[in-house]
A = this chain, B = another copy of it.
Amino acid sequence: MPQAAENVSVDQSGAFVERFSLEPTAQGALSGLTFAVKDLIEIAGRTTGCGNPTWAKTHPPAACHALCVEQLLAGGARCVGKTVTDELAFSLIGENHFYGTPLNPRAPERVPGGSSSGSASAVACGLVDFALGTDTGGSVRVPASNCGLFGLRPSHDLISVAGVMPFATGFDTVGLMTREANVLARVAGALLGVEIPEDPRVTRVHLVTEAFALCEPDTRRALAAPLDSLRRLFGDRLRETSIHEIDGELGGTGLEAWYQSVYRILQWAEIWNSLGSWIEETKPEFGPVTAGNFELARTLNRAEIGPAVRRRETYCQRVNAFLQPGDLLCIPTTPAPAPLKGTVGGRSQDATNYYPAALSLTSLAGIGRLPQVSLPAGECSGAPIGVSLLAAHGRDAFLLAAVRQLAQAWPDAVGGR
């Protein structure tokens, strides 16, 4: 079970860039809950730093709260501060050259994961009930998995990104992290503007074979027990499914193709659209890893964009046609537990294979515009690991109901409360 590290102080966590208190604007379903927001999400009157000092210096204070923050305040929740993000959201690690590495209280020698690093840390340290992050390529799901939390990436386009720094707009989402499945459902329901049903009626759970094959051997072994629990819970509704049953391709490299031939290209292309002119104009100071990452975006061969869009839409249509309303996909959230601090560089310097494997896993929801929840599923090498459930685009309420039910039925494996 995930432990809230109740005795960690705000200072020890390193999770926050700023503390304040925004009172709720109404009472509602979220009354009594406190939250923090990633410093990529606007709070009226404050400058959104986006994890980079040059950004903070070259942007004015926000004129108003991001739409998602207004929704939470109107639901009764109280906002207590802004949290550390990786520089301009461009990392899955959580080590910010300028603002430090927020504590992963479940594995202090390891990174929290990013880019919603401070949000994950604040929730895992018990400093707030939930926190908002953003997830383009895994930036909520990965830190949730690393820190033993529940983390939602919603269906693309169903939670407003107004007032959130644009990064790769075809993949950007606002997501959230919690310690408890029922809090996840409550808050996500408010953000999505929907009711979460009591009975999700899961008809099928597909374990995606190639996704589990991407895990490191230790991680795969550690996931065996939670998968056995899933088998007992779902019986013959659970089956092993190849990604090629979904994407209709013959052979090939499975999920790596989703990453290499689609996600990688479109993410870099859109990142340069969002940030390239600011970078060329201001020549910002970057941490060394970030500089390398943006160089990949800058030097992309943009003639690859047209074919990548066509392939993205083909994959997206196929996965959404495959998934029936009561179907779930099940994959590991990450290929391994959180890396030890200081061991993974940028995408251009990655000697560990962590990035391509992690992004191959996260590309499935990104390309398919699917909702995904990472659930705490156990430990590997003494650190948390997560397992993820995904549903068809727009089936967020069903997915959240299934996660809540699973956490109740299966408290030891998924840390339900």
Interface of A toward B, CB cutoff 8 Å? 25-26, 28, 42, 59-67, 70-71, 74-75, 156-158, 160-163, 166, 168-170, 190, 192-194, 266, 269-270, 272-274, 276-281, 298, 302-303, 305-307, 309-314, 317, 369
Contact = CB atoms under 8 A, between A and B. Distances in A.
B313 A192 contact: yes
Contacts of A266: 67, 160
A298 to B, nearest CB: 8
Nearest to A158: B313
Contacts of A60: 277-278, 280-281
A313 B194 contact: yes
B157 A67 contact: no
A25 B303 contact: yes
Ranked 3 nearest A-B pairs via Cβ:
A63-B276, A74-B306, A193-B313
B302 A65 contact: yes
Nearest to A170: B160
Contacts of A61: 277
A237 to B, nearest CB: 25
A280 B64 CA distance: 11
Nearest to A66: B273
Give this chain's copy count: 2
A286 to B, nearest CB: 16
14 contacts: A25-B303, A42-B277, A60-B277, A62-B276, A62-B277, A63-B272, A67-B170, A70-B302, A70-B306, A74-B307, A190-B306, A192-B313, A193-B312, A194-B313
A273 B192 contact: no
A270 B281 CA distance: 26
Contacts of A311: 193
A187 to B, nearest CB: 13
A304 to B, nearest CB: 9
B273 A64 contact: yes
A74 B65 CA distance: 39
**Which of A25, A64, A280 has the most CB atoms of chain B within a 10 A radius of its CB?**
A64
A359 B277 CA distance: 34
A300 to B, nearest CB: 9
**Which of A25, A66, A298 has the most CB atoms of chain B within a 10 A radius of its CB?**
A25
Contacts of A312: 193
A279 B62 CA distance: 11
B305 A270 contact: no
Contacts of A75: 306
A258 to B, nearest CB: 15
A303 B74 contact: yes
